[in-house]
Structure 1
Amino acid sequence: MRPHLSPPADPGHNGGVRDGPIDGGTGLGGFRRYTWWSLTGTVTVLLVLFVADWAVEQDVPLPVRAAGGVALAVLVVSVVILLDHRLPRTPVAARPGPPAVTWLAAGGAAAAVLGAIPLALREQELWPLAPAVMTSIAAMFLPPPHRRTLIAAAVVAAAALGGAVGMVAGDGRWPAATAVPAGMVAFVAWTTLGMLWAWDVADRLDRARLLAAELAVKDERLRFAADLHDIQGHHLQVIALKSELAARLAEAEPARAAAEMREVQRLSIDALRDTRAVVQGYRRASLEDEIANAAKVLAAAGIDTTVDRGDPADARALPEPHRHVLGLVVREATTNVLRHSQARRAQVAYRVRDGRARLRVSNDGVADPSRPGSGTGLRALAERLERAGGTLDWHRDGDRFEVVASLPVGTPAAAAEAGAR
């Protein structure tokens, strides 16, 4: 699926969607490890059992056994390194081409030795295992059309060589010597490349998920820019026309020019008010909007998010300034989850009980206890809630981090408004 001997650098390296270690709370890193260990483990066990099948025979000369052991070690090491190239731990950590080519050549030579020895020992069915493994590993670095061509050529070559040796042996086993090697090459390729295909699909889905998260942010920026353009564009165009008219009338009709300038002043005040309203609406989203936006952004980042809003009447019972303050808490807590954790799960819960509104935002995946809450964001919000008669607490328990905000429902709106400033 990739046309080069080493995986291409991820777009994140040039300002794209990802430039850090694979995972980010999605489990992709674990799937990468599973794929790598499954492929290397399966290949190693098969090769060891295959070599042991003929190496333990007493009539095999010691130098031949030694050559087989060295070839086995080289082939296993080559497979491990090549799979590490094909399944990099970080998308931008693409290995250079020459080492991959070197290990492909070393593995190919070792596979040829491990195929020639059993073929010479009349092991006419098992000899293609090592060449089949190396052919499948090499095919991983080719685009699909070339990959299929290589596998098909290997199947035909194994059938032809096995059948020829079977005919020369004259023991009547040439049909099996033809069919079994071809089937073994096809089976090994199907198994190894199938696991690689699953990894590539997961990797592409993860890239799409990260791109969706970026697009969600950009869509919001475009929405704000479009609203601001609509407001400012109309007012500025009218202001420009009236200013031009006032300049023409300044000498001939001073009174009318003054009237036009007063109109320009009024339009300027309207434009300033409308601009502030747009910015106010952008910055002062309600608690409900912030909770919905947090669920959307966290889900786009691949985090399993549970939202519990309680009774819808609870949110309506809280004055708008209070909802704004708690909305800021949701926004800051969501930012912390995205920046300072590798969360897999997050919860947002809101309740009004015993005369107090309580908001709780929690997540797992906290690796560094010094990061969440260590900045000024939560501390500044804690001061705002304290001025509004509420509290804001946060704590870490193992890999979990929790932010809890509380506000009295009966606090006057003015106090909450002061806390929000």
Structure 2
Amino acid sequence: MRDVPVDPGTGLTNFRRYTWWSLLSVTAFFLIYSVARSRVMDAATPVPARLAAVAVLALTVVAVAVSVSRRLPPVPLGSPGTDPGGAPPVGWLVAGGAGGVALGVILLALGDYGLWSFGPAMTVSIIAAFLPGRRRWLLIAATAAGAAALGGVAAAASGRGSLFAAAFPAGLVVLTGWVTLGMLWAWDVAERLNAARRLSAELAVKDERLRFAADLHDIQGHHLQVIALKSELAARLMEADPVRAATEIEEIRRLAADALRDTRAVVQGYRRVTLEEEITNATRVLAAAGTDARMDLDPSASGLLRDPGRHLLGLVMREATTNVLRHSRARHVEVGYRTADGLARLTVANDGAPEDPGTGRETGPGTGLRTLAERLRTTGGELTWRHDGDRFVVTACLPVETR
């Protein structure tokens, strides 16, 4: 069940975009920096080596971009840290890892004992993001140890100092892993919070449905059980005592009428909402969905409209709230209720409305805006709605003497 939008003013889509660009920008910057500042760019370096380094660099950046996109699934979200299609992009991860290693080998062969580790460090941190918690840190630790050993051995073999050549690559691997996984951890936390917010709004709707179902079950179960017992008694008395049987049948008729009346009372109690109750409920549900709801209410207006009018405006408030939750990506909702010139006016405005103002505005018989507009017209009122850019505004007016 999805009665609420996934990103109703939470900014999760923008946060995903920010995380993606941050990871890609940092990774691409350091990969390009490692090549631009290395001996690959020296005039003495053979042209094939330069071309190979540039080609490997391009492959690595593209592979990282695709891998990060798959690690950050677009809204609506799946489980944290998983690809929405069901599996990590193994091909792109292998390509990125191979590109990072190849770039490191080229730079190490040219004697860049510090810059060579950027490629492996960046790509390994991206690969680790697709692994479970302990495995990702084991991969980073193993890579750091391997980078330290390889850098130290290469520097020692060339007769140069091995301390920096061993310490810098190991530290770089740990640092890039810490930064990359930290950013992705923040994304996972935001995803879980958004899922909890959606669940809270859905549970509020389900609780109300369960309450209504329980009330209906209690009333119908009691009446039907008594009707069944008296029907059996009337059937047994039909031949032996027709007068008593007729009495029992009349009692069955009365019980059926009582059951119908009580059922109608339950339904009426469920639907006989007031504007005040619906405004309170809308504030709670919209807050649970992560939407900023601002109320501008005139306290003196509540007593000026009689119960039928308050009931109609309550239905309008309920329908407007349902439309906000189901058919928009609203960040802000503004509700105003005032009386002026003999009219009670309710206004509900939200942003994040779809481009097509006619889409999805009817939610069922008797509750859609068009049906409510007809009901308000019969009482001398008016219900209008308009689409202004990404804003959708519903306005209901009723004479304060409505009975």
TM-score of the two chains, using structure 1 as the length reference: 0.87
Aligned counterparts, 1:261-300, within 5 A: 261-300=249-288
Q: Secondary structure at the match of 1:128?
A: helix
CA contact (8 A) 1:340 1:371 kept: no
Q: Which has the higher contact order (CA 8 A, sep 6+)?
A: 2
| Aligned residue among 87, 94, 115 for 2:84 | 94
1:200 and 1:350 map into 2 onto residues whose CA distance is: 40
Residue identity opposite 1:388 in structure 2: T
2:192 and 2:101 map into 1 onto residues whose CA distance is: 35
CA contact (8 A) 1:17 1:207 kept: no
CA contact (8 A) 2:3 2:202 kept: no
| Aligned residue among 217, 228, 240 for 1:252 | 240
Q: Secondary structure at the match of 2:111?
A: coil
Residue identity opposite 1:316 in structure 2: G
| Aligned residue among 348, 360, 378 for 2:335 | 348
Correspondence for 1:12: none
| Aligned residue among 140, 148, 152 for 2:137 | 148
Q: Is 1:164–2:149 an aligned residue pair? A: no
Q: Secondary structure at the match of 1:299?
A: helix
2:267 and 2:37 map into 1 onto residues whose CA distance is: 76
1:19 and 1:355 map into 2 onto residues whose CA distance is: 36
Correspondence for 1:11: none
Correspondence for 1:396: 387
Correspondence for 1:3: none
Cα drift, residue 206 of structure 1: 1.6
Structure 2 vs 1, CA of residues 300 and 75 (structure 1 numbering), >3 Å: closer, same or farther? same
1:375 and 1:225 map into 2 onto residues whose CA distance is: 24
2:4 and 2:178 map into 1 onto residues whose CA distance is: 32
Aligned counterparts, 1:228-243, within 5 A: 228-243=216-231
Correspondence for 2:47: 62
1:387 and 1:371 map into 2 onto residues whose CA distance is: 23
Cα drift, residue 271 of structure 1: 0.9
Structure 2 vs 1, CA of residues 120 and 19 (structure 1 numbering), >3 Å: closer, same or farther? farther
Q: Is 1:365–2:352 an aligned residue pair? A: yes
Residue identity opposite 2:303 in structure 1: R
Correspondence for 1:317: 304
Correspondence for 1:111: 100
Q: Is 1:26–2:3 an aligned residue pair? A: no
Structure 2 vs 1, CA of residues 209 and 31 (structure 1 numbering), >3 Å: closer, same or farther? same
Correspondence for 2:111: 122
Residue identity opposite 1:315 in structure 2: S
Structure 2 vs 1, CA of residues 284 and 234 (structure 1 numbering), >3 Å: closer, same or farther? same
Cα drift, residue 320 of structure 1: 0.7
Segments ≥4 residues shifted beyond 3 Å: 16-20, 22-25, 90-93, 95-98, 372-376
2:155 and 2:345 map into 1 onto residues whose CA distance is: 80
CA contact (8 A) 2:317 2:348 kept: yes
Consecutive unaligned residues of structure 1, counting only runs of 5 or more, are: 1-15, 414-421
Cα drift, residue 374 of structure 1: 6.3
**Cα deviation 1:360-400 (Å, max 9, x = unaligned):** 10000123143368659323322222221122222222221
Correspondence for 2:37: 53
Residue identity opposite 1:215 in structure 2: L
Residue identity opposite 2:319 in structure 1: E
1:165 and 1:19 map into 2 onto residues whose CA distance is: 59
Aligned length: 393
Q: Is 1:190–2:174 an aligned residue pair? A: no
Cα drift, residue 154 of structure 1: 1.1
CA contact (8 A) 2:355 2:389 kept: no
**Cα deviation 1:188-226 (Å, max 9, x = unaligned):** 111111111111111122222222222222211111110
Q: Secondary structure at the match of 1:357?
A: strand
1:136 and 1:62 map into 2 onto residues whose CA distance is: 30
Q: Secondary structure at the match of 1:127?
A: helix
Residue identity opposite 1:63 in structure 2: P
Residue identity opposite 2:252 in structure 1: V
Q: Is 1:405–2:396 an aligned residue pair? A: yes
Q: Is 1:330–2:317 an aligned residue pair? A: yes
Residue identity opposite 2:286 in structure 1: L
| Aligned residue among 159, 163, 170 for 1:175 | 163
Cα drift, residue 335 of structure 1: 2.2
Correspondence for 1:419: none
Residue identity opposite 1:174 in structure 2: S
Cα drift, residue 49 of structure 1: 1.0
Structure 2 vs 1, CA of residues 405 and 19 (structure 1 numbering), >3 Å: closer, same or farther? closer
1:307 and 1:243 map into 2 onto residues whose CA distance is: 55
Correspondence for 1:43: 27
Considering only aligned residues, what root-mean-square deviation do their CA atoms show, in Å? 2.2
2:240 and 2:361 map into 1 onto residues whose CA distance is: 66
CA contact (8 A) 2:291 2:331 kept: yes
Consecutive unaligned residues of structure 2, counting only runs of 5 or more, are: none
Q: Is 1:81–2:59 an aligned residue pair? A: no
